[in-house]
Chain A
Amino acid sequence: MNEVLVTLISVRTIEQGISLEIGKTSEQYQNSVSVIELNHSDFNSLEISEGEIVEVESEYGSVLVKCQSSQDVPKGRAFMPYGPWANKLFSSSTPCSGMPQLKGIKARVKAAKGLKAPSILEFIEELRRL
Chain B
Amino acid sequence: MKVVYDAVCPFCGCLCDDLEITVENNRIINAKNSCAISLSKFMHHEDNRLSYSTVDGKKTDLVTAINESAKILACAKKPLIYGLSSTECEAINRSIELAEIIGGVIDSTASVCHGPTIITEQSVGEIKSTLGEIKNRADLIIFWGSNPTESHLRHLTRYSVFPTGLFTPEGRKNRVIVAVDVRKTKLSKVADLFLEIEPNKDFELISALRAIIRGVKIEAEQVSGISINVLKELAERMKKARFGVIFYGLGLTQSEMGDMNVNAAVGLVSDLNHHTKFVILPMRGHFNVAGANAVSSWLSGYPFAIDYSRGYPRYNPGEFTAVDLLERREADAALIIASDPVAHFPARAVEHLAKIPLIIIDQKVNMTTLLSRIVIPAATAGIEAEGTAYRMDGIPIRLNKIIEPVDGVLPDSEILNMIIDKIKVLKGGY
Given contacts A7-B199, A22-B48, A99-B112, contact A94 B344 (CB under 8 A): no
In the complex, the answer to whether B345 meets A24 with C-beta atoms within 8 Å is no
Given contacts A72-B183, A79-B183, A92-B345, contact A17 B321 (CB under 8 A): no
Given contacts A18-B36, A93-B327, contact A98 B254 (CB under 8 A): no
In the complex, the answer to whether B47 meets A9 with C-beta atoms within 8 Å is no
User: Within the complex, which residue of A7, A13, A18, A99 is in contact with B116, where a contact is CB–CB below 8 Å?
Assistant: A99
How many B residues face the partner with a CB closer than 8 A? 65
Given contacts A17-B37, A72-B184, A91-B348, contact A22 B44 (CB under 8 A): yes
Given contacts A97-B119, A100-B346, contact A77 B182 (CB under 8 A): yes
CB distance from A71 to the nearest CB of B (A): 8
Q: Please encode chain B, from 106 to 123, with 1 for each CB lying within 8 Å of some chain A CB and 0 for all others.
A: 010001100110010000
Query: Which B residues touch A4, using CB under 8 A?
Result: none
Q: Check A116 for interface membership: any CB of B closer than 8 A.
A: no
In the complex, the answer to whether B318 meets A102 with C-beta atoms within 8 Å is no
User: Within the complex, which residue of B41, B324, B344 is in contact with A21, where a contact is CB–CB below 8 Å?
Assistant: B41
CB distance from B300 to the nearest CB of A (A): 16
In the complex, the answer to whether B115 meets A26 with C-beta atoms within 8 Å is no
User: Within the complex, which residue of B119, B150, B345 is in contact with A14, where a contact is CB–CB below 8 Å?
Assistant: B150
Given contacts A24-B365, A127-B350, contact A92 B327 (CB under 8 A): yes
Q: Check B343 for interface membership: any CB of A closer than 8 A.
A: yes
A92 to B331 alpha-carbon distance, docked (Å): 15
CB distance from A16 to the nearest CB of B (A): 8
Most buried by B among A18, A100, A123: A100
In the complex, the answer to whether B345 meets A87 with C-beta atoms within 8 Å is yes
A21 to B88 alpha-carbon distance, docked (Å): 18
User: Within the complex, which residue of A12, A92, A102 is in contact with B150, where a contact is CB–CB below 8 Å?
Assistant: A12
In the complex, the answer to whether B371 meets A60 with C-beta atoms within 8 Å is no
Q: Check B305 for interface membership: any CB of A closer than 8 A.
A: yes
Q: Please encode chain B, from 191 to 214, with 1 for each CB lying within 8 Å of some chain A CB and 0 for all others.
A: 000001001100000000000000
A9 to B185 alpha-carbon distance, docked (Å): 14
In the complex, the answer to whether A17 meets B40 with C-beta atoms within 8 Å is yes
Main secondary structure of the interface of A (DSSP, over half): loop
In the complex, the answer to whether B112 meets A100 with C-beta atoms within 8 Å is yes
In the complex, the answer to whether A97 meets B200 with C-beta atoms within 8 Å is no
Query: Which A residues touch B255, using CB under 8 A?
Result: 101, 103-104
CB distance from B117 to the nearest CB of A (A): 10
CB distance from A15 to the nearest CB of B (A): 9
Q: Check B366 for interface membership: any CB of A closer than 8 A.
A: yes
B residues 217-270 in Cβ contact with A at 8 Å: 250-251, 253-256, 258-259
A61 to B350 alpha-carbon distance, docked (Å): 13
Given contacts A25-B48, A94-B323, A104-B255, contact A99 B111 (CB under 8 A): yes
Closest-by-CB residue of B relative to A16 is: B150
Closest-by-CB residue of A relative to B107 is: A98
Query: Which A residues touch B47, using CB under 8 A?
Result: 22-23, 26
Given contacts A87-B344, A103-B199, contact A12 B367 (CB under 8 A): no
Query: Which A residues touch B41, using CB under 8 A?
Result: 21
Given contacts A103-B251, A123-B367, contact A97 B318 (CB under 8 A): yes
Most buried by B among A61, A71, A97, A120: A97
Query: Which A residues touch B344, using CB under 8 A?
Result: 82-84, 87
CB distance from A75 to the nearest CB of B (A): 11
Query: Which A residues touch B185, using CB under 8 A?
Result: 72
Q: Check A1 for interface membership: any CB of B closer than 8 A.
A: no
A104 to B150 alpha-carbon distance, docked (Å): 19
CB distance from A11 to the nearest CB of B (A): 7
Q: Check B349 for interface membership: any CB of A closer than 8 A.
A: yes
User: Within the complex, which residue of A9, A17, A101, A123 is in contact with B182, where a contact is CB–CB below 8 Å?
Assistant: A9
CB distance from B36 to the nearest CB of A (A): 6
A45 to B323 alpha-carbon distance, docked (Å): 36
Q: Which residues of A contact B (CB under 8 A)?
A: 7, 9-14, 17-19, 21-26, 60-61, 71-74, 77, 79, 82-84, 87-88, 90-104, 120-121, 123-124, 127-128, 130
Known: A124-B342, A127-B351. 19 other contacts (CB 8 A): A7-B199, A17-B37, A21-B41, A23-B48, A24-B365, A24-B366, A61-B347, A84-B342, A84-B343, A87-B343, A90-B346, A92-B323, A92-B324, A98-B111, A98-B304, A100-B112, A103-B200, A104-B255, A130-B354
19 contacts between A and B (CB under 8 A): A7-B200, A13-B150, A14-B149, A19-B40, A21-B11, A21-B44, A24-B367, A25-B48, A72-B183, A74-B183, A87-B343, A92-B345, A97-B258, A99-B253, A99-B321, A102-B112, A103-B200, A124-B370, A124-B371
